[in-house]
Structure 1
């Protein structure tokens, strides 16, 4: 889906959620297939989550700059040098970073209230890292105001 067609908070969130679902599936349900595709002898590979909920291990885009922000590069190189769970956790952290960068890319034209709504929608979901590591997201607790009002 081209960036010009993602205009509303709901459209951007739908894209975010679909890409997130794809990454979660790659790192959990399809983990053996994902692991085997990340051959350290291959070139710099990236894990992509697509807006149709498919995931893909592939080389980064060749055009510079790429249309979308690129995910973590070279996820395959550390695979055999780390404990499998630790490596999957590392890929999950990089996947969360990539999801946020794509979300910011699509949400660049959102106003303050739309961003607040969008961030709230994203925060209602566990991160890829939380899902992969089995961490339960902490329920909101009352926090001390830092003095700034949002």
Structure 2
């Protein structure tokens, strides 16, 4: 069955949660402290099917790069609709929906801290300091991401780059 990608994070999340419920999955949601582009609640949702005693576990993750969450969410929802009972008894399936819900909602690759989650698995015990980042952080990650702000921050960053 062909599906169109959902147009908003909120619609994609609702479709995933509904499909998980219909499939009989155990769902745990981890709310995010930041709201989405439309003011919606953001969360990482985890749906689990299969026995806790299963010898094999398959993990499906969507939305690590935020904006790519639309495709991953559609695939996860499709799988929940079409395939949840087709695995062996020894298999437990875990679907992690929207690993980067901020990037997903705001249609960005990065999270609320302007971090590409997939590229930044770092040992945080010894992080190098970038003293100049604080000077431009608000330009890179503004509180509001509308057309006016994007034009203003782009112009300001071009000035910084020209220095």
TM-score range, shorter chain: under 0.3
Greater relative CO (CA pairs within 8 A, separation 6+): 1
Higher normalized helix content (fraction of residues): 1
TM-score by length of 2: 0.26
TM-score by length of 1: 0.27
Higher normalized strand content (fraction of residues): 2
Larger of the two Rg values belongs to structure: 2
